[in-house]
Structures are given as structure tokens and as C-alpha cells.
Structure 1
Amino acid sequence: MADGPRQEWWSAAELADAGLPDMPGSKRKVNDMAARQNWRGRPGKSRRRKAVGGGTEYHWTLLPMRARLALTARAEAPEEQTVGRDEAWADYERATAAAQKKAGERLAVLAEVEEIEVAGMTRSLAVTTVATRSGIAAKSIWNWFGRVEGVAQADRLAYLVDRRSLRPKSAPKVANAAFCDIVKSDFLRLSGPSLTSCYDRAVRIAEKEGLAVPPIHQVRAWIKATISEPVLIYHRKGVEALRRYYPHQTRDKSAMVPLECVQGDYHRFDVFVRWPGEKDPVRVQMVVFSDVYSGKILAWRLDVTANSHTVQLALGDLIERYGVPWNALLDNGREFAAKAITGGTPTRFRFKIDDEDIPGLLPLLGVKVIWATPYSGQSKPIERAFRDLCDRVAKHPAFEGAYTGNSPLAKPENYGTRAIPLEEFRAVVAEEIEAHNARPGRRSEVAFGRSFNDVFNEGYARAAISRATEEQRRLWLLRVEGLRGDSKNGELKLHGSRYWAEWMYRIAGQKVAARFDQDDLHAGLHVYDLAGSYLGHAPCMEAAPFLSVEAARTHARKRNQFIRATKELAKAEREFDHAEIAARLRAAGKPVEDELPEAEVVRLVPAHPKAPKPQQSRRQTTDQLESAERLDAQITRISERRAPGPDDDPRGRFERATQLEAMQAEGHPMTAEQSLWLADYQQSAEYRGFARMRRAFGQEE
């Protein structure tokens, strides 16, 4: 006992935790004992604690006899060195900073002993010398040498750490663990009851079952010590709260470029709007696409509901103006997961995935689709822009009286007193989005106080931009099938508008498909057959005011242009006129009759017994032949005696046509018969031949 224990100075907390005989088990009671026995008044037996937190330490000789014997026994018990190298360093990492510092001091003491020993002094004398110089007990130095015996010099520090600093704090002791379990089970519920109410209910159970009831402060300390914060959040707030408790991921955008990734989502405005065709005011929805790198809003469209058609058109606006993006971060809503947008993408969260799906707009353009985590606003940076628009658009002074509040419990006093016309609402939204993009002072990791426009324009100038072809531009227009062309001219009708082009006679009476912009029906239709082949563009035929003379003139001018173009095309199609075809037929002579081969077998058909017998005489046959010869001779004489008329004279026909053309040019009226004859003759090869001769040699005298 003369050498004493390994540790000579003890704080009140350490003595309480040591579990020594005849010693209290709490820090407060140890301090009470020290005050009663006047430990601080004993010279050299107390000192100021040097560790963090301060306090007083007492020498071990102040303890009761049995406590001192227990400490001495612990010191004399050999410490088993069973800790491996990796475990020792792991323990060193878990130790407190004070324990790690103390281990370094012990290592320095051992190094000093070994230096003196190398100089020629024995280890025993060296230990005594260092102990006297440093004020450390020689027994402690010998214990430290025992800990590092057989340990490499580089690993000594890990073995010299005080292992008591690694001991986890034990849970506070309570009088009855069964009672605490009842309180804990009642407390860990999603309804979130207070601990006081749970304690009171447990008291009623304990009185019935005869359990000991500890004070509530002990139960509260026990629950705090035994239940971790994540477990408490899971039981009382749910999985979503536990997900939010986990630190969010910081994603770096500094290495990106504009259009490397765009993000899309829907937002419903808290404003009543009068939408055309809707009986009651509605809260319109806006689909927005923004650039992830810069934060700039690139395209947006309004509609009554969230639908894939509006998404398709907004994507078209983005691609038409800025180019084809590389990636698209999309919300998991049905409007984005529709096959028209993302068909063929293998990771859609919605709808059945089929290998035979027709690729949607984004896969057809080579855009990689990235789905945002459902119900996770942190994965969609565009939510920050929506918060800005909620304040600057929904609460705009032009919409006063139309603001609905962001929840049924937050309705303003003037709720429902106004509804904004759609065009006025659209104009304010466009103005605020432009201001949103141009506002300086942005604090993202790529903005550095600049505006979204400045960041986007700087990166856009050096980025590789892919442009859509004319065929790809039609992919994002809405598609409608089953339109039937008018049986007369192929005209199409859609949403009260008429569409027609000169080529559409080919689809007269046929069913076709068309693509169009629902927000710009006057832009016309792109017409396809049902197999998907492109046929052509059909302009919109806008209705004109009933009394508009200018509109009537414009329509007549277009019709005359169509008629002239058709005439020119018709002339080019006819190589020969009807007179020339007839002349060539006459020159070809009578058609050659087919010569039948002589039948080798002749079957005699017997006369029917009741058939009448022919009574024709030879005289009758001779008279018929003579009559036919006389008729033929008469026809020949008449034809030779008749002079040829102007219609049989090619030059006469051309002169007649020239006279009629002069009348038409001077504005003289012509009969319908003259107009038809002239239009028919002008298409003949005879007319074209005489016209070429006249242009070449001039008018004959």
C-alpha cells in the first residue's frame, strides 16, 4: 500500500463513478462528505483541477480505509494487454481531447526515461530521477512502461491513453425500470403526447399493479439518456421528419454550363383568373422550365390544369429559342411522366413501362431524363423560384382583391371580390418573370452578386448548343388524329377554325392527323397521314368581317392567283390537244380486226322444229344491196360539195382566238360559249405552235 494506486488525485465525480466501498455514489454526496470531513483544510491533500471545467481534486489518502485498500488492490492487479493495434488506435480516436493530451505527456515521460537510460543510468534510477523532477509517482511511470511493453515505438501513444475516458456514461438509475418502460411506450407515439400526461397515466397503472413510482425528473432523465434523437423523431414525427433530419446534400453547379440540365415543374397561383370558356374563376397553373446552372427561367405556359400538352408546348418554346438541353430534371407528376413527353424512358415512376412504347419528345431529341425524388423539394431547386413568384406575382398590386391566400385558413378579408382577365394576368406574369431573371444580387455559387441573365448569357456564349431541325420542331406540337378532309377540296376544320392549302385536294374525304399549337391556332396545321408521314402545312383561313371590302378583295386576289397557277400547271400537263388527238386517230385508219384462226372442228346446230322458215327471195337481197350503194354515193357527193368552215381551218381557229383575247384585254364582254372555247383552245398544242411562230417571226401582213 506504500506505493499507492495508479491514480493519486481524484475529483468528486471520479470518486462517485469508481464504485468504492464506504463512498457515496453521486458527485453531490461526495462533495457533502468532503465538506463534513474538511478535506480542503488538510494541507497538501487537495488542489485545483487542471482539466477543462476546473473543480477540486483530492488525494487518495483522504478516503476511508476500505476505499484505499480497494484502490491499492486495483493498482496491484496486472493490466492485461489484449488490445490489438487497430483497436488501440480506434480507442484513441474515441478518447477526449484531454485524454489524448495526457497520453502525449506520458509518452514524453517515457522518452525522457529512455534517454537517461541510454546515457548509462539504470532504468530504476532513471525512473526515480524523472519521477522526482516531474512530480509524477514512480509507480505510475512503471505502469506506463508495462502498457507499452512489446509495442512498436510508433504505436505507444495509442496504448498510453486513459481507457476510463472511453467508458460510456451509464443511464441514470431509476427505482423501477418497468414503470419507465410504460412511460416510454406511451410517449413514443405519432400523436406526440406530453411526457407529463404519459407519466400520469403510468402512475395510475402502477397504483393498480403495485409498481414503485420514481419521480418524473428521473424518468425524464432516463428517457433522454436511453432514447436517441433519431429514434425519438421517427416515433413521434414519422419517416418524412427523419428524412429532413438527415443533413441535406450540397450539390456543386460551378462545373456546369447553361442547358446542361433544365428543370421543370408546375406551380398553381393563389389568384382568381377569368379563363375563357370557364364559368367560374379559376386558379391557373403554370409549367416552368429553368436552367439549373444559372437559375434563369427559360420557358413557361399557363393552363387551367396540369397536363402533358402544356408541358410539351413549353418544352418546344425552350428548344426553339435556346436549343436542345442535355438533361432534364423533372417532377414525378403524371403530366411529366406521360408517354408523349418521356415515353421510352426506363425509370419512370408512373404508368406501365412497355418495350413497344413510342418514344416521347425528350427521348426522341436525345435528352436524358432525371426524375426528382417524390415529395422532396430539396431535390428541385426551382422551388426557390416559386417562393419568389408567390410573393411578387400572387401579391402583385394589380391583383388586389383576387388573391386567395396560400391556405383555406389564410384567406384575406377581400377574398373573392375580383377575378383577373387572362390577358392581364399573363402580362403581369411575363413582366415579373423578366424582372426575376434580371434582378441583381444573386448569391448562388456561380452568380457572385450578378443576375440570372448575366450568368446564363456568359455561359451560353461558350457552351455547345444543339439546335432542333425543322422536322424536330413539329414534334412538340399537339397531335390530333381522325380529322377528315372535306370531300370537295380537302379542307380541315379544328376548334372552329378552317385550314386549307392548294395541295390538300389529295386528302379530300380522307382521315389524317395534324399537329398544332393550342395557344396559336392561327399558325396553321402540320398535316400527317395516319401512318405518320408528313404531308404539308395548312394555313388558317381567318374569318373576315361581313362588310369588309378589303378582305373580299384579298380573298378574290388569292383565288385568282390560285386559278392562274392551276391553269399554268394544267397547260404543262397536256402535251396534245383534242383536235390533234382526233387527227392522229383518223390517220391511224380503221381499227384492225382480229383474225380468228379457222376452226378445225365445226359443230352443226340443228334447227328447232318449231322455228320459222326463212322466206327471203333473191330479189329482195338484190334490192337491199342497191339501196345501200345509192346511200353511200349520196353521202360522198354531199361531203365533196360542202366547203370547209372556220372550225376546220387551223389558222382560222388561231385568228379567232387572237380576236377573243383582244376583246378580253380591252374589257369587252364575251359570251360563256366564247370564254369556254378560248380557255379550251389556249391549252392546245396548235395554239402554242402558232403563238411561238408569231413571237419568232412577227404578225403576217
Structure 2
Amino acid sequence: MIRTAPDQEWWTAEALASSGLPDVPGTRQGVDALAAREGWRSRPHLARRRAGRGGGWEYSWQLLPARAQGALLKAVAPVEEPASRMDRGTAWAWYDGLPETVKAEARARLKVIQRVEAFSAAIGRNLAVRQVSQLEKAEGRKASERTIWGWMGMLEGVDVADRLPYLAPRHRAAAPQRKRAECSPEFLIRLKAAFLRPAVSFRASYDVVKDVCIARGWQYLTLKTAERWFEANVPRVTVVYAKEGEAGLAKCFPPQIRDRSTLTALEGVNADCHKIDVFVAWPGIKEPVRPQIVAFQDLYSGKILSWRVDLAPNKVAVMSAFGELIETWGIPRHCLFDNGREFANKWLTGGVKTRFRFKIRPDDPLGVLPQMGIQIHWAKPGHGQAKPIERGFRDVASRIALDPRFAGAYVGPNPLAKPEDYGSRAIPLKDFLDVLDEGIRKHNARPGRLSDTARGRSFDETFAESYAAVPIRKATEEQHRLWLMGQEVRKLHQNHGGLELYDNKYWAPWMNEFAGKRVIARFDPENLHAGAYVYSLRGEFLGPVECREKVGFFDLVGAQLHARTQRQRRAAEKKLLQTLRPMSVGEFAAELADLPQPETPLVEAKVVELAPARIRKPVIERPVPAPDASTEADFQLFAADFSRPKPEPVIAVNSAADRFWRALEIERRSEAGEAISQEDAAFYARIVRLPEYQAQRTMFDRFGEQGVG
């Protein structure tokens, strides 16, 4: 065992004698004899006279016997033994997890080794180490010769490319030994039961569980330690699922990336509705309205192919836009629809088993899309990322709605972002449609699109290139009756077979043969008087009828795999939540109810005031003067005055405007640094929370004093 500092470079004879190094004599005389025998003092760079009191000689550690030098090197870097060396893969993985300060130290050591190797070719290794040590000391860095030799020993048998991790300080390799706080398992079980539920905070859950542990005598953790335990042992996704349910869990999944490059033009379309942020003067309606646009977009290119505008989303507008799509471009193979009622209507999608809306009946007629062989896909409800057309509607909101020709009619994206000229103008419907049509054309023609299919081109160019190269299905004359018509299931009259639709009566002679039977009536919802076409429930065309009484007017596999993965993840999270929450909230609540309730101590009054007893006899007796005649007359007059009816008090009018001006005056005095009474402060704190004040404040800020009535 070395009984002195192992990194010491210069040694006296006394220090060597007491060092315990192998092959070194244990007495001063023995060390002097070894030095004389080996000629240590004849080597000027390794032996020197000792400065200071007492004098004597000092010897470098490099003069010691080989086994003594090895013991010193081993004591300086005890972890460099070949048996404890990590393999290169483990070493690099360990090095990658070190802090930057430790990595910087390893790089500095490697630089020293490289300098030694550069000098060794010219002056030899021993002299190179001595020279580099002196240079390092001159530059203000600590690198003694012994230390450099120790670093070089750490690299024995290590490839030049792998030196860096082996030179890193090894004190980081050992895991820190910390004393862990202990607690009862009942504390952790109840903490999970209390916290893994909606809304409640961790601190509130901890306080409740702490009270239970104190009452039961269980050991519990401190708040900070409990938080660290929860973060280390309960996954964040599980906490999100417990507190926010499946809606929160869905946010933890990355959105599915859909590749459109495998599609072609008109292979798939998607549709949705958008409420436009512009006031429009609609014929027949007094107040200005914000109309809705129904649009169909090509999935491959992103081009808007057809659109319609109406007061609200409805199946007539959807059918009309869909008819324009088929008539102008052709029949798509896939349709991605929103979950709204206007798209899930039975005219369009009847017979599809995966609708989210409306009850599915066995006698529901097939809708237009299933009859034309169009495969329908439904976007996940409340999930805007599933509908690519939402990106196109952003152009409608940011460009078309902000067109200069709509100035004064723009309403803002939300009620909190209304423009200054809100409601000052409404655009005539014809002008609005002209600007909207122009904006959609520009949207389709704008170059520089960065989608995978456009690659810098416009939507028009992308669509046109693919449209010209793929076969397009066109509608036949018989199919025109499908997409132009709405449809209803009706029972024909039991006697003559007549049909009634929305108070309009239809009949033809051939209908007598089908009296009393249920049929499908197809009609133009925008012109009920034009007649109808009647089909059997199996879809067979029976014949046309006239109006006799006119009364009134995708990658499917990828989507399935993505949905299956999310279902599996949800199931796993449910199972994990049940495992991590072994005690239910109900059981924990029942345990709280069984706890003994603390008795409220009575507060004893420190200052007692005795109630005065009734005094039967006055302390001071004095004669009561008798009233004279004049005093009696004054008393009668005083009583008469009290008997008269009191005049009505004048009550100051405290209107809403008065209260607002009072609050404004309090604000002014507060901003000027004047004193505010408690009454005024309480009044101000109460009035500013009222809608009355907030509305008046808005009018005052916008129009000044004349805005406050």
C-alpha cells in the first residue's frame, strides 16, 4: 500500500523509505545506497538538490525500480486495468451519454497524447513526455509527466480511432449511490387512485392521500419526492389517457401520413363545408348572412373541382355540387366525406353500412354513390387532419374572404377578432359569387405548390397532366337521372297507385299495376313540378310520372392498418391504466368517508363582558320637574308634526350610465395615484365583472362619450 500521494513526481530519500513501494528500501540509508549504486545523482534531469531548509536531494519517480513505477501508475489510474476495460461498442455508448464538460476533458487529454506522439519521432518518448508536460504547465494546464504516462497507459491496445472514450474521466462510469426515500405501498396505491382521474391536480390528490396516511399510520413521501416517483414510474401517456380520455390519447399519436403520389386524377375526391367570413345580402332575407360553401376537391392534385353556395349545409347543395363534378369531369372511384348530415343523407349514401349518421333500415334505397360504384370513406369525426380540403379552405379564409372588394363585409375569423368596420356593409349575392368564383380559379392556378404531386406546379397543371393520361368514367344518360335526383321511399296509393311527394301529387296510368307497393321516387329537389322517376326497391326502373297537383313550391389498406394500430394502442393504454390504478376512485372515496372526523375544539373567549343587570333603583335620586303650560303646548305641537304624513324622499337616479361614469372616475383617480376609499374599491371590483359595464366599455372605447347612453 502506498503511504503517500501517488501522483507525486519528486521524492526525497525519507519519503521513498516510508512509501512502501516494491523494491524500494525501507530506510533512508538503504535509499541513499540504492541511489549511489544506480548513479541517480549523475542524471541532472532526474535528480536535483532540494531547495529550502535542510537541503538534501530529490529524485524523480522515473529513477525508481520498474515495479515501483508500475505501482505508482496503477495508483494514479486504478480503472485502467485491461480486465476492467469496456469493449469499444460499450465505451462509445457510455461516452455518448456523458456531459459536454467531461467530453471536453477527454478531448484535451487526447490532444496532449497526440503532441507527445508528434515529438516522440524526433526526441524519443521519455523526453517527449517531459517536454509536453512543461509546455502544458507553461500554458496554464495541469499535466505532469506521471499523469501523461497514466493517460498513455489507458490507451494500451486501443485502436487510434477509439481513443476518445477511453480517455474520459472514469468517475462518471459509476452510478451515483443515493439513499432512496421509503413509503408504505398503500400510499402509492391511493396516490394513483386519487390522481389518475380527470381534472384533479397532483397537489390536491397528494394532500388527500397524506391525510389518509396520517390517520392510518402509513409512511408517505414528501410532495416533491412523490412527483418524481410518479414521473419515473407512470408513463405520461397513461396520465393523459386517465385525465383526458380517448380525445387526449389521440393527441399522443402522430397523424397518419397519406401518400397521394400513388393516386391519379379523379381517382378520389373529398368534400366538406366551410362558413365564409363575409356578410352577404341574401335575397329575401333582411339581415346579412354568412353563407356556406360546399366544395369537392381532387385528392391527387388538390384542385377544387366543383362547389355550391347556400345559407346552410344541406343535401340539395351537396347533390348539386356533386352533379357538377360528374357532368364536368367524370365519375370518381372514391369519395372521402365529412360526417355531417348533408353528406350522410340517404339520397347520396343510402345503403352504406359505415355511416355515422341516421338509422340504417333494411328497406333503405341505395344512394346515388353506391349505385354508381363509388366507394365511400368517412373522415373521423372531429379530426380535421383527415380531410385534405381543409387546407384549401384556409385559402378561402386568408385570401378570398380578405379580398379588397369585401372590405367592410369581412367579419373576422372568430368573435374576438372582429375588424373595426364590422357589420358596416353586406356584399350583394351576385357580386359575392363572382369574387368567389374568381378566387377559386386563382387558387387552382397559383403556381409554386409544394405537395408531393405538384412539385412546384399549380393544382390545375398537376390535375391536367394526370387527367389526360388515365381513363375517365363518364356518366350515361340513365345515370344522369341518379345524380340529378333526390330520392324518397314512398308507398303508392292503395287504390289508384298515385304518389305524393311534399304535398305534390304524381300519377301515370302504369302505376295502377303497383298500387299499395313501396317504391323509390327520384326527383329534382329544386324543381318538384318537373315530374319524378319511379324505381322498385331493388333499383329497377319502373317509369316516369307527371306532377298532376302542383302545391308548393385511398389507400384503404393503409387506413385500416392505421386505425387498427390506434385501436390496439387504446386497448393497451386501458389495460395499463387499470394495472397502474389498482384501487378505484370509488373505493378510495369510501375509505375517506370511514375516516374518523376530527372534533372541532371550542374556542374559549379571553375577554368577557358582563351584561348589565336591571337597575331597580336609580343610583342618584333627583326630582323630576313638572312641565308648565308653555312646555306642554310645545309638546303638543311637536306631536302634531309627527302625525303629519312624511314627504316622499328624493332618491337619486342610479342608472347604468351613472354606474359606468362612477367606475370611470375611480379608474382615473387610481391612475393618477389618488387615494381610493374601500367603498369605491368594492364598487369597482363588483361593476367591472358585469356584462353591463363590459358592453358600455366597448362602446366608450369605440365611439367615446356619445357611445354611452
Pick the TM interval, shorter chain.
0.3 to 0.5
Higher RCO (CA-CA < 8 Å; seq separation 6+): 2
TM-score (norm: length of structure 1): 0.46
TM-score (norm: length of structure 2): 0.46
In our comparison, the structure showing a higher alpha carbon Rg is 1
